[in-house]
Copies of this chain bind each other. A is one copy, B any other.
Amino acid sequence: MRKGEETRTRILDVAEAAVLQKGFGGTSIEELIAETGITKSGFFYHFRDKNELAKALLNRYIENDERIYDEIFSRARELMDDPLQSFLLGLKLLSELLSDLPNGHPGCLVATVCYYERLFDREIQEANKNAVLAWRRRFGGMFEEIMAVYTPREPLDVDQLADMVSTVIEGGIVLSRALKEPNSLSEQILVLRTFVKLLFQPRASDLNGVRH
């Protein structure tokens, strides 16, 4: 019971690192068992096949991802009352968190899965889709709060704006890896932050009678 969970976690740790570096197809079960010091039979005791390993890997990754976003943006919410300022701070905190990682972001399993789609069953693809939809809901909710207070300078769809956050993170990871510049991702998030700031900056005409 306790021991089993521990071994399972160890396999998942090793597998996650390997998959993010070489993809699912490039990661062999034999290399995983060699590194975890388990036998092949032991591996198949925990996971029926590679597909089930992928499923467990993805679900764990998504959970962890959600936890990190929860922490960052609830912390930002505590520090700032205004929804826009809070969101901008959240992006700043996220950017700092990422630039503190010595080797950069290890890679996103959601992206890995979507470049592998045909190899996995529908369940995995659904979980992947739902993860992205959860991001959309998360950031979309924040933008709705912002829009209740601020008028955007240009009309933009809330879902598309929310997706922009996910887009920049996923795209930033790709660029960081391709360029081998770990800081690119956090820089791109800060560029997005500037864009969002600009979008909700009050117009001169909205400041009628206001002194600052």
A interface with B by C-beta (< 8 Å): 20-27, 107-108, 110-119, 125, 128-129, 131-133, 153-154, 156-157, 160-161, 163-164, 166-172, 174-175, 177-180, 184, 187-188, 190-192, 194-195, 197-199, 201, 204
**How far is it, in angstroms, between the C-alpha of A111 and the C-alpha of B163 when the chains are bound?**
19
Most central of A24, A27, A167, A168 by chain B CB within 10 Å: A167
- Provide the main secondary structure of the chain A interface: helix
Identify A164's interface contact among B26, B160, B188, CB under 8 A. Answer: B188
**How far is it, in angstroms, between the C-alpha of A93 and the C-alpha of B202 when the chains are bound?**
30
Does the CB pair A178–B107 fall under 8 Å?
no
**How far is it, in angstroms, between the C-alpha of A156 and the C-alpha of B188 when the chains are bound?**
11
Does the CB pair B21–A24 fall under 8 Å?
no
